[in-house]
């Protein structure tokens, strides 16, 4: 699913909201030729009054959509309590930016996945240095799972015109220090749907081994992060643009 030398694409809604939304999103993702489908069931929201996700019901909907459209699935594990349910049913375990330095969670995830060697997509904390990010990955690696994919998702700076500052410098820096694959989450890194295509191109050009975006059939109605979600009708165009840059670098798209 992830390796140096190819570009892995991941798309899907920020949050799983209901059956129709998840099925329609998965259908569009599969139709665009993307193989990995994302969707949050447990949402770590900044405000406790925002939609918190469907929880276990969301996991069931994600699994059904993945089976129906033959997509690999990725979802976030926010706490140890939900780890087993996710580990049994979902293909890739995401650790969110807000949990990058939750070392006990990282250790538990490493231990729980040490047998099945499931991929763990670890997001960079938005105020973490690259060294801290790599050391967080070590918690999983040293617990017995070598399959960690690092996800650059933007850091906090003084700039306010984008949600975060997408640190594409991190890609070549990490490549010097580590052999782990690096994926860039362009949606959280920019906060703007109209930046997804240009910054996906930039991430691939800078050497990313994958790109992740949020996509929604009706972003205006999204319960979470609609402003940074690509309307699913544009997923084909996104894949085409990613493929263009990947082919310049002689990299296949996964």
According to CB under 6 A, which residues from 195 to 254 bind ligand PEP? none
Residue 47, C-beta contacts closer than 8 angstroms, at least 6 positions apart: none
Q: x/- string (CB under 6 A) for ligand PEP, residues 6-25?
A: --------x-----------
Question: From the CB of 107, what's the least distance to Mn ion, in Å?
Answer: 25
- In the stretch 130-169, what mask flags binding to ligand PEP with x, by CB under 6 A? -----------------------x----------------
Q: Which two tokens stand for residue 197?
A: 């295509």
- CA–CA dist 123, 224 (Å, integer): 18
Which one, 166 or 251, has the nearer CB to ligand PEP? Answer: 166
Binding mask 166-205 for Mn ion (x = CB under 5 A): ----------------------------------------
Give the binding range for Mn ion (CB under 5 A) out of 70-78, 105-113, 166-174, 217-225: 217-225
- Asked if 22 contacts 249 with a C-beta cutoff of 8 angstroms, the reply is no
Q: How far is the CB of 93 from Mn ion (least distance, A)?
A: 16
The structure tokens 């989450």 sit at 185
Tell the smallest beta-carbon distance from residue 114 to ligand PEP (Å): 23
Separation between Cα atoms, residue 53 and residue 113, nearest integer Å:
24
Residue from 72, 108, 123, 163 binding ligand PEP (CB under 6 A): 123
- Residue of 134, 225, 238, 242 interacting with Mn ion (CB under 5 A): 225
Q: Among residues 53, 58, 66, 96, which is the contact residue for ligand PEP, using CB under 6 A?
A: 96
Q: Could you tell me how many residues of this chain bind ligand PEP (CB under 6 A)?
A: 10
Map the footprint of Mn ion across residues 8-27, applying CB under 5 A. 14
In angstroms, rounded to a whole number, what is the distance separating the alpha carbons of residues 40 and 173?
29
Q: Which residues contact 34 (CB under 8 A, 6 or more apart)?
A: 9, 10, 11, 71, 235, 239
Contacts of residue 82, Cβ cutoff 8 Å, sequence gap at least 6: 42, 55, 56
Q: How far is the CB of 253 from ligand PEP (least distance, A)?
A: 21
Q: Given the complex with ligand PEP, which of 182 and 251 has the nearer CB atom?
A: 182
Q: Which residues bind Mn ion (CB under 5 A)?
A: 14, 225
Q: Which residues bind ligand PEP (CB under 6 A)?
A: 14, 40, 44, 96-98, 123, 153, 185, 188
């Amino acid at each position: 699913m992830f390796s140096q030398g190819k570009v892995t694409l991941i798309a899907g809604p920020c949050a799983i909201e209901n059956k129709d939304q998840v099925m329609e999103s998965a259908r569009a993702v599969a139709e665009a030729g993307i193989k990995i489908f994302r969707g949050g069931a447990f949402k770590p929201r900044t405000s406790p009054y925002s939609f918190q996700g469907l929880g276990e019901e969301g996991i069931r909907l994600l699994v059904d959509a993945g089976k129906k459209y033959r997509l690999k699935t990725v979802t976030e594990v926010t706490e140890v309590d939900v780890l087993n349910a996710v580990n049994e049913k979902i293909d890739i375990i995401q650790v969110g930016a807000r949990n990058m330095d939750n070392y006990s969670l990282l250790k538990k995830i490493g231990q729980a996945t040490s047998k099945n060697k499931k991929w763990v997509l670890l997001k960079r904390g938005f105020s973490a240095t690259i060294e801290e990010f790599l050391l967080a990955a070590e918690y999983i690696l040293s617990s017995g799972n070598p399959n960690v994919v690092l996800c650059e998702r933007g850091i906090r700076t003084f700039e306010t015109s984008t949600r975060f500052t997408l640190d594409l410098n991190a890609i070549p820096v990490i490549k010097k220090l580590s052999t782990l694959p690096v994926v860039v989450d362009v949606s959280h890194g920019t906060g703007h749907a109209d930046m997804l295509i240009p910054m996906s191109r930039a991430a691939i050009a800078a050497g990313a081994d994958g790109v992740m975006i949020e996509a929604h059939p009706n972003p205006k109605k999204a319960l979470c992060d609609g402003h940074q979600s690509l309307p699913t009708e544009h997923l084909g165009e996104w894949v085409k643009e990613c493929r263009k840059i990947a082919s310049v670098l002689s990299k296949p798209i996964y």
